[in-house]
Chain A
């Protein structure tokens, strides 16, 4: 590029070197800064409140199967899995049944009851929100009641979510 040349804009002519200076100024105006934050994610095996299989195997998830019958309430008093606050302090903990597949066709009603000496959760509906309690240290059993519809068939999958604060 010959900087002694002029660039013609309508009636005006601007020396190329001046135009270049204007462009350089525009670039300078777009200056920016970058601040940095470093995140070091550390693996922890289990939250302070976790599922477990009796007697003391901590689990972050579990799968459980139960047979139900049309028009009959099936009660499974103590699942082989429970909920365990293995910390020394109370933790705010939420529980919900977030979904049931084929619910209308197969499930007339259900109850998920979690307790030790007293009942902590008693869930009877599918919900997008959690029922949050202050969960004291200890192990809690899960009690399940499911009543099938008169025409129930196939399978329904219950998805239960647990939310733990300060895990």
Chain B
């Protein structure tokens, strides 16, 4: 008789343990509701005619610099960065990636122009080697527009039509 009760009692006991464990599990609900807002900064074309804005929201851009063998190429106003946030923002330029598979770059400098001042932000050496990969933080006032200046210098003997690609990131955060 006692042996017959062992299995049912064991099942009941295990069930009680399961219920006890289940009661220990607490689920916290955190609601995350992403809200679409305007980007704090946007890109605008510079006056040199070498840039293209790629999307309606003006958050992606392409720049098509030239690179000449043994000659410096300048674009003093390649692209604009415009603070449309309604408050001050801090920006920082990053070289997110550099690809120079044909080794055409002797040097490639990206400079941020704020008013009359120029600040070297990104500096690449031979074959796209990153010498300086990011800038300091710069504060942009409301509605301020800053320019990006490019200076390229190609290595001697490079072949026309070959390319190098630099992906530039502009970080924007609150002050």
**What is the interface of chain A, defined by CB distance below 8 A to chain B?**
29-47, 60-61, 167
B173 in complex: contacting residue of A30, A37, A39, A41, CB < 8 Å: A30
Contact A43 B65 (CB under 8 A): no
Contact B169 A34 (CB under 8 A): yes
Bound state CA distance, A33 and B96, in angstroms? 14
Is B62 an interface residue when CB atoms closer than 8 A count as contact?
A: yes
Q: B residues touching A (Cβ–Cβ < 8 Å)?
A: 39-43, 51, 59-71, 73, 79, 94, 96, 102, 104-105, 108, 148, 150, 152, 154, 158-174
Considering only CB atoms, which chain B residue lies closest to A163 in the complex? B74
Contact of B163 among A42, A47, A167 (CB under 8 A): A42
Q: Number of A-B pairs whose CB atoms are under 8 Å?
A: 123
Measured between beta carbons, the chain B residues less than 8 angstroms from A31 are 173
B161 touches A35 (CB 8 A): no
* A31 CA / B73 CA spacing, docked (Å): 37
* Closest Cβ–Cβ distance, residue B52 to chain A (whole Å): 10
Q: Which residues of chain A have C-beta atoms less than 8 A from B168's C-beta?
A: 36-39
State the CA gap A61–B70 with chains docked (Å). Answer: 7
* A35–B173 CB distance below 8 A: no
Closest A residue to B42 by CB, please name it.
A35
Known contacts A40-B65, A43-B104, A44-B160, then 9 further A-B pairs from the complex at CB < 8 Å, ordered by chain A residue: A33-B40, A36-B61, A37-B60, A37-B79, A38-B168, A40-B165, A42-B67, A42-B161, A43-B159
Return A54 CB to nearest CB of chain B, in Å: 20
A29 to B175, CA, bound (A): 10
Give A130 Cβ to nearest chain B Cβ, in Å: 12
Contact with A36, one of B73, B150, B160, B170 (Cβ below 8 angstroms): B170
Residues from chain A with Cβ under 8 Å of B94 in the complex:
34
Write out the residue numbers on chain A whose beta carbons fall within 8 Å of the beta carbon of B105: 41
Give every chain B residue within 8 A of A30 (Cβ-Cβ).
Answer: 173-174
Question: What separation, in Å, do the CA atoms of A29 and B174 have in the docked complex?
Answer: 8
Contact B172 A32 (CB under 8 A): yes
